[in-house]
Chains A and B, each alone.
Chain A
Amino acid sequence: MKVIRTHDLSKTYNHLVVPVKALVNVNLEISEGEFTAIVGPSGSGKTTLLNMLGGLDQPTSGKIFIDDTEITGMKESRLIDFRLRNIGFVFQSYNLIPVLTAIENVSFIMLLQNYPKDKMEKRARELLEQVGLADKADVRPQKLSGGQQQRVAVARALASNPRFVLADEPTANLDTQSAFNLLDIMLRLNREENITLLFSTHDQRVIDRARRVITLVDGSIVEDQHFEK
Chain B
Amino acid sequence: MKTIIVISWRNVWRNKPRSLTILLAIAVGLWGGIFATSISAGMMKQRFTSSIETQVSHLQVHNPKFLKDDNIRYGILRADQIERVLAQDSSVKAFSSRTMVNGMIATATLTKGVRILGINPVQEAATTRLSTTVISGTYLTAGGRNPVLIGKKLADKLRLKPGSRIILTFTDVEGEIVSASFRVQGIIRTTHSMLDETQVYVRQRDLQTLTGDESIINEIAVLMHNIDQVNPAVEALRKQFPESEIRFWGQISPDLLYMNEMAGATMMVLLVIIMLALAFGLLNTMMMTVFERTRELGMLMDVGMNKVKVFSMILLETTFLTITGALAGGILSGITIYITSHTGIDFSGVGGNTLSDYGISAVVYPELFPGFAENIVLLVLLTSVLSALYPAMKALKLRPSEAIR
Task: Point out residues on A near B: beta carbons under 8 Å.
Answer: 51, 54, 56-57, 76-77, 80-81, 83-85, 89, 91, 93, 95, 97-100, 104, 107-109, 111-113, 156, 160
Q: How far is the CA of A119 from the CA of B11 in the complex (A)?
A: 27
Q: Digit string of B294-328 for contact with A (CB within 8 Å is 1, else 0)?
A: 01100111111111010000000000000000000
Query: Does the CB pair B10–A83 fall under 8 Å?
Result: no
Closest CB of chain B to A169's CB: distance in Å? Answer: 12
Evaluate whether A99 and B401 lie within 8 angstroms (CB atoms) in the complex, with A77-B306, A89-B302 already known.
no
Evaluate whether A56 and B296 lie within 8 angstroms (CB atoms) in the complex, with A100-B10, A156-B303 already known.
no
Which of the listed residues A54, A89, A99, A113 has the most CB atoms from chain B within 10 Å of its own CB? Answer: A99
Query: Does the CB pair B307–A80 fall under 8 Å?
Result: yes
Evaluate whether A112 and B302 lie within 8 angstroms (CB atoms) in the complex, with A56-B401, A100-B10 already known.
no
Query: Does the CB pair B307–A77 fall under 8 Å?
Result: yes
**Interface residue total, chain B, C-beta cutoff 8 A:** 22
Q: List 8 contacting pairs A-B, 8 Å CB cutoff, sorted by A.
A: A76-B307, A80-B307, A85-B304, A91-B404, A100-B10, A104-B3, A112-B309, A113-B304
Q: Is the C-beta of B7 less than 8 angstroms from some C-beta in chain A?
A: yes
What chain A residues lie within 8 Å of B295 (beta carbons)? 93, 95
Evaluate whether A80 and B306 lie within 8 angstroms (CB atoms) in the complex, with A97-B7, A99-B14 already known.
yes
Evaluate whether A83 and B7 lie within 8 angstroms (CB atoms) in the complex, with A56-B400, A95-B404, A98-B14 already known.
no
Query: Does the CB pair B7–A99 fall under 8 Å?
Result: yes
Closest CB of chain B to A69's CB: distance in Å? Answer: 15
Given contacts A56-B302, A76-B307, A91-B404, 6 further A-B contacts (CB under 8 A): A56-B400, A80-B305, A83-B302, A100-B10, A112-B304, A112-B309
Q: How far is the CA of A57 from the CA of B400 in the complex (A)?
A: 8
What chain B residues lie within 8 Å of A84 (beta carbons)? 303-305
Main SS of chain B's interface residues?
helix
What chain A residues lie within 8 Å of B305 (beta carbons)? 80, 84, 112
What chain B residues lie within 8 Å of A93 (beta carbons)? 295
Evaluate whether A97 and B400 lie within 8 angstroms (CB atoms) in the complex, with A80-B307, A89-B302 already known.
no
Contact of A109 among B6, B11, B303 (CB under 8 A): B303
* A166 (CB) vs chain B CBs: closest residue: B302
Task: Point out residues on B near A: beta carbons under 8 Å.
Answer: 3, 6-7, 10-11, 14, 295-296, 299-307, 309, 399-401, 404
Query: Does the CB pair A111–B3 fall under 8 Å?
Result: yes
Q: How far is the CA of A56 from the CA of B304 in the complex (A)?
A: 10
What chain B residues lie within 8 Å of A98 (beta carbons)? 14, 296
Evaluate whether A81 and B10 lie within 8 angstroms (CB atoms) in the complex, with A56-B400, A56-B401, A108-B3 already known.
no
Q: How far is the CA of A107 from the CA of B7 in the complex (A)?
A: 13
Query: Does the CB pair B304–A81 fall under 8 Å?
Result: yes
Closest CB of chain A to B157's CB: distance in Å? Answer: 73
Q: How far is the CA of A77 from the CA of B301 in the complex (A)?
A: 10
Query: Does the CB pair B303–A83 fall under 8 Å?
Result: yes
Which of the listed residues B6, B305, B307, B309 has the most CB atoms from chain A within 10 Å of its own CB? Answer: B305
* A168 (CB) vs chain B CBs: closest residue: B404
* A83 (CB) vs chain B CBs: closest residue: B304
What chain B residues lie within 8 Å of A56 (beta carbons)? 302, 400-401, 404
What chain A residues lie within 8 Å of B6 (beta carbons)? 100, 104
Q: How far is the CA of A76 from the CA of B306 in the complex (A)?
A: 9
Q: How far is the CA of A84 from the CA of B303 in the complex (A)?
A: 6
Q: Which 4 A-B pairs have the closest CB atoms?
A: A84-B304, A99-B10, A56-B401, A95-B299
Closest CB of chain A to B316's CB: distance in Å? Answer: 13
Which of the listed residues B299, B302, B305, B309 has the most CB atoms from chain A within 10 Å of its own CB? Answer: B302
Contact of B11 among A81, A91, A99, A111 (CB under 8 A): A99
